[in-house]
Structure 1
Amino acid sequence: MAEEKDDAFTPAERDALYKAIFSRRDVRGQFRPDPVPDEVLTRILLAAHHAPSVGFMQPWNFIVITDQEVKSRIHADFTRATEEAAAMFEGERRSLYSRLKLEGIREAPINLCITCDRERSGPVVLGRTHMPAMDLYSCVCAVQNLWLAARAEGLGVGWVSILHEDALRDALGIPERIVPIAYLCLGHVTHFEATPELESKGWRKRLPLEDLVFRDRWQGE
């Protein structure tokens, strides 16, 4: 019988990975005030820092926010932005949107802003020569790593995207050349929902995988 390689996952390790993927949720209203230990936060950030990046440029930075005054500034902008967003929907859709809780900015003990420094490796980056947005996508991979690591630690994460970029830059002192990628809320939660909240609340259903997989070339409309 062939020897098992040291880098192979055991069945239990494989199942744990899939459990984290399938039970990850965008958390909004279940945050508890309990502090997140520094060693846990460090592990989560280290997981994010080990995301793949184009040309190994590692273009991310992580702004850790615990100051309530800063959180309040961000929340005030969210309030303005979500009022603007609600007006973009009509009828029952607008009514449902207004009933959804879409952030946990003040409740979560930690907020995180993940940014992209597009100049970190100079003007020519291996792998970005013909697809210039690859550094931005690399930072999104860091977000996903962080999210899965947090779930494995029993912590919830919520991504807040209903914000004005200029207001976010101003509140956090982000230079013009740095691109804000994700504003996240992080902390212990009372529970994780069995299904994504937007699905359970009737906003959208998960699409069937078989409708999304093509072979060899595009087969959609």
Structure 2
Amino acid sequence: MAEIKIAAEARTEFGKGAARRIRRADNVPAVLYGHGSDPVHVTLPGHQLMLALKNSNALLTIDLGTEQHLAIPKQVQRDPLKGFIEHADLLIVKKGEKVTVDVRINVVGDAISGNLVILENSTIAVEAEATHIPESFEVSVEGLDAGAQIHASDLELPTGSTLAVDSDILIVNITAAPTEAQLDAELAEAEAEAGIEHDATDAEEAEAAAEAPAEGEAAESSESE
């Protein structure tokens, strides 16, 4: 993974007011911490940081002019509506050091028609060198049939990386797609449990009306006898 260099400025003002002023200038307040050192409060260019963090495990070189820090994103706060970055916590790392990170799972290929591909875990935790963190893992479901499963142990890890979770964790599960009848039955059961009742359809009303005279005629026949 290539290192992304970002020029930063030391931050001396704190509090909500200062943070708002930083964001109005299209910048992001951030904190660098780790390796037992005191937290370093910085201001980062918002657009550049957003581009860098398109990969959640981006390796960043934070340039403060007099010193540089190698870091990875640890926690990123975003505006829930607009999505822009409000604050970033960055973990200082060293070359050769191993860190535990969550790596994205990408599913490729097509299972046999009539089956559902269920992604049970969209990320998987691995331990890797800070300068060689995998960007993602590719999992192929090409030609798989119902009952097939892919576990963490089936992932192809790059040299130097190891699983940080149980190897039996399920990643992808292939199941048979439900039939229309099964879906209708499940919907009817759910509605019944929720106490939902529907008005009769035109077809149902017509069928009931057609049956009514027959019942009446039967009653008259019985009385005449």
Interval of TM-score (by shorter of Structure 1 and Structure 2): under 0.3
Looking at CA atoms only, which structure, 1 or 2, has the larger radius of gyration? 2
- Whose strand fraction is larger, Structure 1's or Structure 2's? 2
Give the TM-score, by structure 2 length: 0.25
